[in-house]
Structure 1
């Protein structure tokens, strides 16, 4: 079965806007429509990290959200090191990106948000919750979060530093050049991200190729691969005292060996057992539900967004 959104094309993208944080120039866009209600809590999207990934990951989701006449506006930023934001040559940690988003909420959005975060960027949302006024986060939607064991297992600092050192070498640069080739991107996406081979379409591959053109984009990817985001978040997740919706693909898998063999229903059950206000569901698809199963994902999270409005 071909992805339900394969035939869609993205047009009329919002104008890219910029703000300054520290010495960095950061990019974002705002999706809204005549049906958007300024009284409704906007969505703040956190895109995944990977070769060529940026806020463009969310294009299909944003378009579908608007087509569904949803009243919540969308704020879609590029994290530093990605897309049209600056790409300083440094190691990126979850706390760093969380500080960037804290500034973004306080100075640009200037009102509470519902966070929608893809995959293993969940630690960024956790760090953001810990650093910002909790009243500015009304809820979280986790799209394909990591295996529970990954989120509760620390990686030794020396391993992180060693991996970073290797990846930051000329050999790492050569690897990145190889990894941004279309053939590799297609193979990796098919093996690790999508449930259906046909869903790895031209739009997906074109976006990744364009996003990886600037070699400086490798530093965010290498930071992720080095595992600077990896630690035991069990206590942090137990302290997430906001509504959290966990959405897992029916064919969800784990790239990391730590989470291998964990069935989707077990992953969902672990999250719901430990999140104070957790809700959850499984949807058709694998690990990139907002892209592979866009309309289904939009339909699935809409009641939660409305519930957050009425409860808080």
Structure 2
């Protein structure tokens, strides 16, 4: 990958609900291009660091858009309270960030099953013009976000994870061996793409045991709700980018093909368009150059 000097400030911080939240910003003073607001996935060792490879390649390709890359609460350098995080919680954090830090229109770029967070954020921002469009990279299986899962089931799952049993599981899950095997089985299309940069990033970030709370909230399934009506109300242009080998961890999701998943999203999104590209489930990382090339025309068009 081509190297490029990034116009990035040191990690910045802001306070939200008495929590200290971190973010990175690139090319902040360029007012000629629409800004990108990145929403990282949740998982062992994941935070805004997921997007660093994408940011390098975005600027190496000659794009100059400002990029805002926040750490969601419970992740990265943000505070990590022992909280059962719901998508609306992270959406409200991002709404505050958008209004008090970014202060200008953005295009959302969201990875994977954090798709519901973006949907919630768009709902919160219905009366503003701060969200110009959205890019959904590898969104979750349609069945998972078009059917309600009983709330009691989420709470039971959370209580199991939020226990010594969960703590023991996290100790195992943050090992390099587990992360590598899981990445090969569930995330990447090609084994060789599970490289040292990926493994070092996740194992180093997972050293703080308090990061398990966000992971367990995600695993508990608080994001598994029926979002069909909310998706149908997204009035902004949207782009769904699906990997040709996209898969799902859940039993429900295993029954659908990438083409079927893409078709379901496009049938619900009022101004949606979609494309498939090489890769599986973490496209901005495993196929960074192709992902940049895939989304750049959409961003230029709606900016």
TM-score > 0.5 by shorter chain: yes
* Aligned twin of 2:171: 177
Query: Does the 8 Å CA contact 2:4/2:60 hold for their aligned counterparts?
Result: no
Distance 2:5 2:251 in 1: 39
Change (3 A) 1:229 1:273: same
Change (3 A) 1:11 1:223: farther
* Aligned twin of 1:230: 224
| TM-score (normalizing by structure 2) | 0.96
The Cα offsets for residues 283-304 of structure 1, whole Å up to 9 and x where unpaired, read as 0000000000000000110010
Distance 2:251 2:5 in 1: 39
1:14 positional shift: 4.2
Residue ranges of structure 2 left out of the alignment (5+ in a row): none
1:50 positional shift: 0.3
Q: Please give the residue correspondences for 1:291-310 in structure 2 after superposition, counting only pairs within 5 Å.
A: 291-309=285-303
Distance 2:254 2:5 in 1: 38
Residue 121 of structure 2 aligns to a residue whose secondary structure is helix
* Aligned twin of 1:29: 24
| TM-score (normalizing by structure 1) | 0.94
* Aligned twin of 1:17: 12
| Count of residues in correspondence between the two structures | 301
* Cα RMSD (Å): 1.4
Change (3 A) 1:100 1:10: farther
Query: Does the 8 Å CA contact 2:4/2:59 hold for their aligned counterparts?
Result: no
Distance 1:194 1:170 in 2: 31
1:64 aligns with 2:57: yes
1:71 positional shift: 2.4
- The equivalent position to 2:43 in structure 1, one of 43, 50, 55, is 50
Residue 145 of structure 1 aligns to a residue whose secondary structure is coil
Distance 1:192 1:120 in 2: 13
* Aligned twin of 1:204: 198
* Aligned twin of 1:115: 108
- The equivalent position to 1:166 in structure 2, one of 160, 184, 188, is 160
Query: Does the 8 Å CA contact 1:51/1:179 hold for their aligned counterparts?
Result: yes
Query: Does the 8 Å CA contact 2:3/2:60 hold for their aligned counterparts?
Result: no
1:41 positional shift: 1.3
Distance 2:202 2:30 in 1: 33
* Aligned twin of 2:121: 128
Query: Does the 8 Å CA contact 1:249/1:283 hold for their aligned counterparts?
Result: yes
1:109 positional shift: 0.6
The Cα offsets for residues 181-204 of structure 1, whole Å up to 9 and x where unpaired, read as 000000000000000000000000
Distance 1:214 1:84 in 2: 10
Distance 1:84 1:126 in 2: 24
* Aligned twin of 2:183: 189
Change (3 A) 1:10 1:292: farther
Query: Does the 8 Å CA contact 1:32/1:66 hold for their aligned counterparts?
Result: no
Distance 2:41 2:274 in 1: 20
